[in-house]
Amino acid sequence: MSIYLKESIIKTLYLIRHAKSDWSDGTLSDFERGLKKRGHKDLDTISSYMSLQQLKPDLMISSLALRAQTTADQLGKKIGYEGRIHYMEELYNSRPETLMNVLTLQDDSYETIFLVGHNPELTEFANFLIKDNFPKLPTLGVLAIHLDIDSWSEIKEECGEIDFFIQPKQFKYYMPKQIRTTLAREA
């Protein structure tokens, strides 16, 4: 008699908050705000790190707000993501339950999903998925969570564990040579 042990397939979700937004034009609505110069610079740094780590999603989903779209577009381009980015108005000003509902509808062939959005929803959703208390996802913070599920439809409370967390502030005083080299080539 042979015993077949099912190997658990772990899905990975990257919660990514949009880069630093620009508040200088008071005529724009919150939805229409773009990125500050610092937001673009932070995007270069974070995307260089992710590219060096060969982090690429099977699917990217983003809020339709301009600052989230710009973040998703630039990040996808800089890490070499060749798929389509799915922009969803539902991810702007939504409840964490909306994020979960969007994910539960995704095809199970996707092992890794990047979800680009806003706070407080992303932080609240992270705290729903993990046992630990994650304080706050800063602008352009990237929180990678391994989900102990075989299907996106199985997402439930505390089914995840943090793999890593990065943010632009980590590179303020020390930037690894590989990232500096990558940034110099892109300039």
Q: What is the pLDDT of residue 168?
A: 93
pLDDT tens per residue, range 33-54: 899 999 999 999 999 999 989 9
Average pLDDT in the chain: 90
Instruction: Give tens-digit pLDDT for 131-171.
Output: 989 999 999 999 999 999 999 999 999 999 999 999 999 88
% of the chain with per-residue pLDDT over 90 = 76
Reported confidence tier of residue 182, pLDDT bands at 50, 70, 90: low
Burial of 21 (0-12, 13-18, 19+ CB in 10 A): buried
Q: In the chain, what are the domain boundaries? A: 27-186
The C-alpha atoms of residue 43 and residue 153 are separated, in whole angstroms, by 31
The per-residue pLDDT for 186 is: 63
**Spatial separation of the C-alpha atoms in residues 8 and 146, rounded to whole Å:** 12
CA 178-183-187 angle, to 5 degrees, is: 150
Amino acid 29: pLDDT: 87
Which residue has better confidence, 29 or 66? 66
Question: Is the domain covering 27-186 a CATH 3.40.50.1240 domain?
Answer: yes
